[in-house]
Structure 1
């Protein structure tokens, strides 16, 4: 699967920049400041990763879930032609 390009989402009026990593892990910037990495756990549950250990934190953070749902719902804009990165 090709690496996704970074994209922006809007959650509660705040712009989050999403940088896809590997295996359902995303680095998130909130209004230009690093928010941290989040990981998809189940269909509706997203977990924020500990910034030092990168282990999931099971604290059921509503903001993290809202970001995750916006990522799930995000549809990339169709481009006219496929661009290959070298």
Structure 2
């Protein structure tokens, strides 16, 4: 499983915690933002906090976070650390 990482979207840092298949728990400014799931290459869905069922409302912030996750490349230092574990 992939290690947690941070992404920057519109000047805001989001902490990303990968979970099962294409599902991520997101923290915004230290508070839980919620879980998001990849639907298609450009569409991401926020999961209902109680049922974890995808909510199909378009959310530009969720799509922007998802795009940042898709574009994320681990730092070389992180990759080197994994080789020695």
Q: TM-score, normalised by structure 2?
A: 0.92
What is the distance in 2 between the residues matched to 1:83 and 1:64? 35
The root-mean-square deviation of aligned C-alpha atoms, in Å, is: 1.0
Deviations 1:20-71 (A, max 9, x none): 0010000000011000000000000000000000000000100000000000
Structure 2: tracts of 5 or more residues without a match? none
Shift of 1:80: 2.2
Matched, 1:80 2:49: no
Range with bigger deviation, 24-33 or 72-81? 72-81
Structure 1: tracts of 5 or more residues without a match? none
Report the count of equivalent residues. 82
The aligned counterpart of 1:55 is: 53
Compare the two structures and name the one with the higher helix fraction. 2
